[in-house]
Structure 1
Amino acid sequence: MASDLPVIDLSLLPSNFGEKQNFSDLDGNNELKKLREACQELGFFRIINHGMEAAFIQKTDSLARDMFSLAEEEKSRAIFPIFNTGYCPADAGADGKASLPENLVFPGENALPNSVDQISAKLWPHGNNDFQQTVHKYNSHMTEVAHRILKLVLLSLGLDVSKHYNSDPFGTSLQGWLRMNYYYNTKDEEEEAQNVQHISKAHTDLGCVTILYQDNVGGLQIRTKKGDWINTKPLPGAFVVNLGDCLQMWSNCRYRSSEHRVVYQGLKKNQGRLSMAFFLDFIDKAEIRAPKELIDEEHPQKYKTVKFSDITSYLMQVGPTLGGPPSYFLL
């Protein structure tokens, strides 16, 4: 099903959040209403005027492709024993199609100090300062944008941003991390490659907010409330944003975490598809509990109060669940 995502212009929304600022203060702001509707219906939207220059985005894209073009033995030096850290080779599905791309994961700086530098040193023992500094800058900018988006999400819920963002589970209980993904076609026959459909595993994101860059190959599909898969096309200069399971839980299901996947075909030989996902998640000790302002007779409390570590521990035991937060934590 063909569709497109709502486009949110950040230049039309607040960047500073004063005391007791809430949705009623911006009741006439159509952009904030668009954001609220997008979070309620699909949990996905695009952002423009986010402050990152097109030339810098292209430079990051180019350096990421250069990294993925390294020989396998060079990339394998950056495989770490720590889960979700460093390089991970592609995972082929049972039918021979790539079900997961190769990727490079940079954990949050708080989780693993200087992770960008440590991983870069494994890839390039003699150094690659340009790559390190670019990834640091990309992470820094994405961190700022992700926090602003999350504040705007709270604002669109009608909440006092200064009150909630300076207390648990927000405040100092958030960490960001970056994953670069690369799908690469090595088929000898171009015609054969064009007929192969590549499908990544459908999933929802666990944390709060994800900001996605994808190149012009596209392929992102999102599942609607009715269960239909809709296609989205890349919009140059824009990022795709989606909400995660924990934010659905915290918002008492006012907002939605949607299942999504990547489906594409037609890559020519030696052509690749690059995406970069920045995740803003809670730290392990963060307590996820819907605020009283979002609980009433029409919206009774849906989920138990849990720590982020409770959710990750459960998922490690039973495997990933689809369609939003695990039902195990429902009241």
Structure 2
Amino acid sequence: MTALATATSCCPNVSVEPAAAVLGRAAVPVVDLSSPGSAGAVASACGRLGFFKAVNHGIPVGLVEKLEAEALAFFSLPQNDKLLTSGAPLGYGHRKIGPNGDVGMLEFLMLSIGSNSVTTSALPTVLCYMLAEYMSRVQKVALRVLELMAEGLGMSDTNVFSRMVQRDGSDVLLRVNHYPVAMRQPAGGGRGAVGFGEHTDPQIIAVLRSNSASGLQIALRDGSWVPVEPDPESFFVNVGDSMQVLTNGRYRSVRHRVVVEAGEWARARLSMIYFGAPAPSERIAPVPELIGKGEASRYRSFTWREYKAAAYKSRLADRRLDGFQLDAQGSPDDET
């Protein structure tokens, strides 16, 4: 999911099939991050789906489980206590996704990595400690994946992507989403409800971990939706819009959503998502090395500040990259 999310029309009243009825479980590529040949597997998955499951990532399961317990304890606090940590866009949020009318069946915490955000000072001490430890660990996983993404494309500088989220001022976020059962309103008498509407992530990369409650779905290129089997011991990697631009379309950002079940057997879903983006002033454009002979740049150059502003002005389900595409002659494409 995205820090700057969008909804299928992002409306809880959209009719949604129960998760199990949407095609069947996705054949999600699995990449062993400890394997010597993982760069090729990463490149294949990012080019085909823009999404994969990462195993052998090096983050202790115990750490993640402790953070999950502390996060659930926070979300169980009285609403007034949770609101003490709000400070849009960072801090605690409830249902509202962005400033343009999109809503979801969730509450969340949004934190900036490396900032001295005042919102964190109001969080319980143990939760703050666990969040800081998790942020440090998941950032290392993200950097490793970004290096593999570059290596898989045969790039001479395999740190070209990872540097963008390490520089001073990089816009790196951690979002903790909680989908409580009590908040769910099934549409049309069915069991499925839109917890977080369809969108792509505007950043370079997103790294997600969830508990064992299902809900995540990804869109295939033909527009069909497939549920992703949850795996609390693994991480899921999303290619973001900015990475699609940097690779001139060789990697594709993945459209995804959360459809939660309502009813007797429903369980609360908790997910933690790392978002990696460059500093606001850094320019994003196709890397020259990835523009093949006879090819043209598919996207115009822009700063992360510019694209982030465009994302905040749009609805969740909008196809934001359309406004930054170029035609074959390198001019804005009138068809978009």
TM-score range, shorter chain: 0.7 to 0.9
Cα deviation, 1:238-266, whole Å, max 9, x if unaligned, reads: 01111100010011001000110011214
- Contact 1:100–1:201 (8 Å) recurs in 2: no
Corresponding residue number in structure 2 for 1:4: 27
Considering Cα pairs closer than 8 Å and 6+ residues apart, tell me whether 1 or 2 has the greater RCO.
Answer: 2
**What's the RMSD between the two structures over aligned residues?**
2.9
- Contact 1:169–1:286 (8 Å) recurs in 2: no
**What pairs up with 1:73-92 in 2 under 5 angstroms?**
73-80=80-87, 83-91=88-96
Which sits farther off after the overlay, 312-321 or 239-248? 312-321
**What pairs up with 1:137-148 in 2 under 5 angstroms?**
137-148=133-144
Give the TM-score normalised by structure 1: 0.81
Give the TM-score normalised by structure 2: 0.80
Do the aligned partners of residues 166 and 203 (structure 1) sit closer, same or farther apart at CA in structure 2, a change above 3 Å counting?
A: closer
Could you tell me how far apart the structure 2 residues matched to 1:167 and 1:326 are?
Answer: 26
- Contact 1:206–1:246 (8 Å) recurs in 2: yes
Offset of 1:8 from its aligned partner? 0.6
- Contact 2:174–2:274 (8 Å) recurs in 1: yes
Corresponding residue number in structure 1 for 2:210: 214
Do the aligned partners of residues 121 and 173 (structure 1) sit closer, same or farther apart at CA in structure 2, a change above 3 Å counting?
A: closer
- Contact 1:188–1:269 (8 Å) recurs in 2: no
Corresponding residue number in structure 2 for 1:49: 56
**What pairs up with 1:208-247 in 2 under 5 angstroms?**
208-247=204-243
Offset of 1:298 from its aligned partner? 5.2
Offset of 1:75 from its aligned partner? 0.5
Corresponding residue number in structure 2 for 1:69: 76
- Structure 1 unmatched ranges of 5 or more: 14-28, 93-97
- Contact 1:258–1:324 (8 Å) recurs in 2: no
Could you tell me how far apart the structure 2 residues matched to 1:302 and 1:99 are?
Answer: 33
Does residue 152 of structure 2 align to residue 156 of structure 1? yes
Count of residue pairs the alignment pairs up: 299
Offset of 1:327 from its aligned partner? 2.9
- Structure 2 unmatched ranges of 5 or more: 1-22, 98-102, 332-336
**What pairs up with 1:1-331 in 2 under 5 angstroms?**
1-2=23-24, 3-13=26-36, 29=37, 31-80=38-87, 83-91=88-96, 99-109=104-114, 112-113=115-116, 115=117, 118-123=118-123, 128-162=124-158, 164=160, 171-172=167-168, 174-186=170-182, 195=191, 197-266=193-262, 268=264, 271-297=267-293, 299-320=295-316, 322-323=318-319, 325-330=321-326, 331=331
The one-letter amino acid of 2:210's match is: Q
Do the aligned partners of residues 49 and 247 (structure 1) sit closer, same or farther apart at CA in structure 2, a change above 3 Å counting?
A: same
The structure with the largest alpha-carbon Rg is 1
The one-letter amino acid of 1:79's match is: S
Identity value in percent: 26
Cα deviation, 1:162-216, whole Å, max 9, x if unaligned, reads: 5635876875563421000011122899xx9983534421000000110101111
Which sits farther off after the overlay, 158-167 or 176-185? 158-167
Do the aligned partners of residues 188 and 159 (structure 1) sit closer, same or farther apart at CA in structure 2, a change above 3 Å counting?
A: closer
The one-letter amino acid of 2:111's match is: F
Offset of 1:37 from its aligned partner? 1.0
